Amino acid sequence: MPINVELLRYRIYDENILYIEPENYQKVRISTSGIMKKAKQGKEKIERLQKTYSIDDHLSGIDKQTIDLFQTLREKILSLDENIIEEAKAKYIAYKTSTNFTDIVVKQYGLKIFLNVKSGQLNDQQNLARDLTKPKLIGHWGNGDYEVKLEKESELEAVFALIKQSYDLNK
């Protein structure tokens, strides 16, 4: 089947402690060209059961300055820990260890970054982040209660400090 399977390794310790960690895995591409699904109205269409997305999919047609900003931020995030997994989804790029700690939506002129931090737990002295739970719950593609916009190289260090807080809370 053309699906991604994530393997988990578990260990049980003496004092009823269950330790679960992701197993390193390699993605395999399988052709879905022969898989057909009937549409609701009886017409046959070729549809993929699960599309594989890439970083290049998110960066195609984007302003060069935004691409450079994303690449710099990406390097900083991946340098936090060798176990960080970068996974391109349909609408965003996820960075995770055991769970997503930040998700990035690449826009034409900047990045929208979602931090997987509960409302009220983020130490944001420069007020860069927007709390998506106030005044009411705002829907978004990523995980977490905070959104940060990054459009200038000068904001990179301050935004990265917020991402590191999210990483520390979720590792």
Calpha distance 171→153 (Å, rounded): 27
Residue 67 clears pLDDT 80, i.e. is over it: yes
pLDDT score for 39: 40
pLDDT score for 46: 47
Q: pLDDT band for 141, please (50, 70, 90 cuts).
A: low
What mean pLDDT comes out for the span 141-170?
91
Sheet holding 85-88, edge to edge: 85-88, 93-96, 100-107, 110-115, 146-150, 129-131
Read off the pLDDT of residues 79-125 as tens digits, 9 standing for 90 and up: 999 999 999 999 999 999 989 999 999 999 999 999 999 988 999 99
A 10 A CB-CB count for 103 gives: 25
Domain boundaries, the chain: 8-46, 55-170
Q: What are the residues whose beta carbons fall under 8 Å from the beta carbon of 82, sequence distance 6 or more?
A: none
CATH code reported for the domain at 55-170? 3.90.1150
pLDDT score for 49: 59
Residue 48 clears pLDDT 90, i.e. is over it: no
Q: What's the pTM value of the predicted model, to 2 decimals? A: 0.69
